[in-house]
């Protein structure tokens, strides 16, 4: 496995997003399946594991803590605060007192004395980002966290936060079909020496060929978060299936799977880019991790650039309500 730098840590070039072991994509896998997946990732050379208080309203941190605590010295452990479950509802709260309380809860669930990378999961726009990051900086000084991250923020917000305390990583959605990071924040991370952690690098399954037709889309679990995303409406998905057909051909010509091509492409976007795909299946995990050894050729990269040119993808990634909660740059409509 290639290695990349994330703040003071050297981590696997591809990490593991743990969310869907407890949250977001319908019924989570059985505990023994989730445990096997985490241990298989460890065996495959993954050293960056990403969780959050929100995922399963604490259940994912408990899972990660229970399974990986015996291997704590081998991994870089990332979690998030500022968005969690309160009385069964998702709440964004970036007040310093809330972040400190959430950290104490996370430390107990994760069975660790310190969290290596602690992200502000969402910037609470009712609280100056300087105040939220200031609270996280106090946690660094207290030894409860080792570095600070931000999620779904703009280049301007990153710079404001970085002026308060060095930011080790910024996490946001980035893939062949979600390119907002290229407007400004990807370059801002490069300039500031901040790692860019790409979540949903497989387009929430689309780029892994996991939604190959409208029937598969219609069969999604009723609680699957994609049901509320405009990009996965029936009309938009039907339009995007035309991209998928050509994408399969490019992957086949490159001698890899569609999922591997999506991850290998991300690794070409800069030495500071670290994708964190998620999966519930060990076979898919091993497929994903093999992408670290791939090097797409110039012709392949050009074909991808042409296929996923600006405006090629139908539908926005979030609905209006969710879009209002984030701070990322957006392309003009």
- Residue-wise pLDDT tens digits, 306-323: 999 989 999 999 999 999
* Angle at which helices 59-68 and 96-110 cross, to 10°: 40
Question: Residues, the chain, total?
Answer: 333
**In this structure, are residues 117 and 80 in contact, taking their beta carbons and an 8 Å threshold?**
no
Per-residue pLDDT at 222 exceeds 80: yes
Q: Is 150 exposed, middle or buried (0-12, 13-18, 19+ CB in 10 A)?
A: buried
Topology annotation, domain 3-204+258-294: TIM Barrel (3.20.20)
Task: Kindly state the average pLDDT of the residues 22-48.
Answer: 96
pLDDT at 333: 67
pLDDT of residue 88: 84
Domain positions in the chain are: 3-204+258-294
Residue with tokens 């409208």: 214
Report the mean per-residue pLDDT for the chain: 97
**Residues catalogued as catalytic:** 55
In this prediction, what percent of the chain has a pLDDT beyond 90? 96
Contacts of 85 (CB under 8 A, 6+ apart): 53, 54, 57, 58, 91
Alpha-carbon distance 129 to 193, whole Å? 20
């Amino acid at each position: 496995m290639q290695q990349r730098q994330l703040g003071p840590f050297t981590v696997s070039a591809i990490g593991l997003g743990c969310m869907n072991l407890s949250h977001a994509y319908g019924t989570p896998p059985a505990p023994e399946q989730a445990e096997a997946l985490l241990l298989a990732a460890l065996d495959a050379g993954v050293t960056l594991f990403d969780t959050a208080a929100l995922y399963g309203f604490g259940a994912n941190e408990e899972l990660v803590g229970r399974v990986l605590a015996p291997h704590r010295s081998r991994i870089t452990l990332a979690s998030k605060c500022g968005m969690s479950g309160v009385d069964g509802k998702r709440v964004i709260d970036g007040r310093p007192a809330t972040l400190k309380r959430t950290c104490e809860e996370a430390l107990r669930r994760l069975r660790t004395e310190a969290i290596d990378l602690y992200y502000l999961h969402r910037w609470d726009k009712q609280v100056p980002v300087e105040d939220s990051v200031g609270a996280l900086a106090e946690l660094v000084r207290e030894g409860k966290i080792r570095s600070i991250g931000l999620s779904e923020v703009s280049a301007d917000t990153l710079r404001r936060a970085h002026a308060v305390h060095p930011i080790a990583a910024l996490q946001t959605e980035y893939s062949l079909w979600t390119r907002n990071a290229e407007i400004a924040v990807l370059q801002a991370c490069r300039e500031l020496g901040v790692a860019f952690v790409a979540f949903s690098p497989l387009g929430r399954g689309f780029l892994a060929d996991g939604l190959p037709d409208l029937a598969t889309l219609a069969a999604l679990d009723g609680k699957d978060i994609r049901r509320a995303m405009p990009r996965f409406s029936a009309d938009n998905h039907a339009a995007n299936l035309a991209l998928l057909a050509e994408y399969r051909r490019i992957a086949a010509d490159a001698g890899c799977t569609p999922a591997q091509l999506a991850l290998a492409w991300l690794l070409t976007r800069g030495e500071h880019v670290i994708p964190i795909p998620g999966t519930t299946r060990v076979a898919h995990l091993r497929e994903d991790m093999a992408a670290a050894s791939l090097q797409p050729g110039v012709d392949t990269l050009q074909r991808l650039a042409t296929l996923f040119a600006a405006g090629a993808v139908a539908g926005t990634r979030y609905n209006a309500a969710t879009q209002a909660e984030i701070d990322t740059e957006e392309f003009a409509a």
